């Protein structure tokens, strides 16, 4: 076919196709590079898995003196019976006054405690006029030393025994347990909680960045560990919630059990479980029953965080014979140092009224500062800080095992 003399043929430039392909590849590589940089910073990424920078923070090993104080406290030795001094070499010296019977029961358990810590110790018994003392010298790792002196009056011969005086009943203990929720995203907050040197409970999110490290370090530093189990809330719509491992309303019993088991496997050393969010599912027996059945089978306690006043979780747990309790005070429903201090006062007053109280806070800098300043004042009000499990155990002993079994 011939074209007319006035028709021009437009020939394609072979270089324009190559230029377009090169520009397209350059744009794609730029997008991938920016996405990779975002994932490395722990920000939202579309092609790469976000990786928060892992910062290893050395956690101080518990000293012999600190662990021994906790041991004596857990053994029921009153704080007023323990006096603290410094030995000649500057190491801690604890002088403990108790009865011969109390010391006889305490000595073998204390020996086992030091053996577990691979500490070397020797004991020297001395007799004074009317008194007996047992002096302990303990040496741990890295020149960690401690001296203990247990002293008590020698029993009088039968002929010299004084008439028995009337003994007043002991004053009931008033207990406070504090839980720090949402743990596992930062080791800095955990380091500060360890420095409190108080029996506190940390609740770890199962899919958080440092879940396993947080549980291990907390356990090694004498803290109690719980699993913070995510559950659907009333204000979280389907498809618009990014919380991983969330247990939702409408799931099958088998799906719920599998999620609970997976979460338990991710957090070692746990003693119990409390709900993260969950204002929707804690109102539904169909969801809570398979959760609580799994916890009971694993001999874990349950604490109802009470994120809604309509929760049935605690009542259902008690009916099922599960060791359980519920939160009394949120320490930081509004974030602020002074607000959390006022909530600590509310927690103390609750304990003074009922004998025990449980508070929940979060690892906000303001909350941790309020705790750092408030915890030393508990002794002034004759309040004893304990783990959550201790309050649950004492409550269980009051009601009697099996009273709530079905």
Which DSSP string corresponds to 81-106?
A: GEEEEE-TTS-EEEEEE--HHHHHHH
In this predicted structure, which of 81-95, 157-171, 193-207, 381-395 has the lowest mean pLDDT? 157-171
Percent of the chain with pLDDT over 70: 80
For residue range 337-379, what is the model confidence (pLDDT) as tens digits? 999 999 999 999 999 999 999 999 999 999 999 999 999 889 8
Q: What's the whole-number mean pLDDT along residues 264-284?
A: 97
CB 96 within 8 A of CB 148: yes
For residue range 16-58, what is the model confidence (pLDDT) as tens digits? 667 777 777 777 777 777 777 766 666 666 666 655 555 555 5
Token digits for 169? 């009943």
Given a cut of 80, is residue 14 above it in pLDDT? Answer: no
Residue 11 DSSP one-character state: P
* CATH architecture for segment(s) 175-236+243-399: Alpha-Beta Barrel (3.20)
Given a cut of 90, is residue 263 above it in pLDDT? Answer: yes
For residue range 120-136, what is the model confidence (pLDDT) as tens digits? 989 998 887 678 888 99
Q: Where are the domains of the chain?
A: 64-72+79-154, 175-236+243-399
pTM for the structure as a whole: 0.59
Report the DSSP beta bridge partners of residue 270. Answer: 225
CA dist 401 and 397 (Å) reads: 7
pLDDT: which is higher, 317 or 146: 317
Mean pLDDT of the chain: 84
CA dist 36 and 320 (Å) reads: 49
């Amino acid at each position: 076919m011939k074209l007319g003399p006035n028709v021009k043929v437009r020939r394609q430039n072979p270089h324009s196709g190559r230029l377009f392909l090169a520009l397209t590849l350059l744009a794609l590589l730029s997008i991938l590079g920016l996405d990779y940089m975002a994932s490395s910073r722990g920000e939202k990424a579309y092609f790469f898995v976000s990786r928060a920078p892992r910062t290893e923070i050395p956690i101080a090993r518990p000293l012999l003196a600190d662990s021994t104080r906790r041991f004596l406290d857990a053994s029921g030795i009153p704080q007023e019976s323990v006096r603290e001094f410094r030995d000649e070499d500057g190491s801690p010296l604890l002088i403990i006054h108790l009865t011969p019977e109390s010391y006889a029961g305490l000595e073998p358990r204390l020996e086992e405690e030091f053996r577990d810590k691979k500490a070397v110790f020797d004991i020297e018994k001395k007799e004074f006029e009317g008194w007996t003392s047992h002096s302990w010298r303990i040496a741990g790792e890295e020149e960690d030393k401690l001296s203990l002196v247990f002293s008590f009056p020698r029993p009088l011969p039968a002929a010299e025994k004084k008439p028995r005086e009337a003994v007043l009943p002991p004053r009931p203990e008033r207990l406070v347990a504090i839980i720090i929720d949402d743990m596992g995203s930062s080791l800095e907050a955990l380091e500060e909680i360890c420095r409190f040197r108080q029996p506190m409970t940390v609740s770890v999110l199962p899919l958080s960045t440092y879940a396993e490290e947080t549980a291990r370090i907390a356990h090694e530093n004498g803290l109690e560990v719980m699993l913070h189990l995510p559950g659907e809330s009333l204000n979280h719509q389907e498809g618009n919630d990014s919380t991983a491992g969330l247990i939702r309303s409408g799931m099958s019993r088998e799906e719920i059990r599998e999620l609970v088991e997976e979460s338990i496997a991710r957090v070692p050393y746990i003693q119990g479980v409390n709900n993260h969010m969950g204002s929707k599912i804690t109102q539904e027996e169909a969801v809570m029953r398979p959760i609580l059945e799994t916890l009971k089978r694993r001999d874990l306690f349950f604490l109802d965080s009470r994120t809604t006043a309509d929760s049935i979780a605690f009542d259902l747990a008690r009916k099922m014979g599960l060791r359980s309790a519920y939160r009394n005070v949120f320490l930081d429903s509004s974030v602020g140092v002074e607000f959390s201090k006022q909530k600590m006062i509310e927690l103390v007053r609750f304990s003074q009224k009922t004998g025990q109280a449980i508070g929940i806070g979060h690892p906000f800098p303001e909350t941790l500062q309020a705790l750092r300043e408030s915890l030393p004042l508990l002794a002034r009000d004759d309040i004893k800080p304990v783990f959550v499990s201790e309050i649950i155990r004492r409550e269980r002993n009051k009601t009697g095992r099996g009273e709530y079994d079905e």
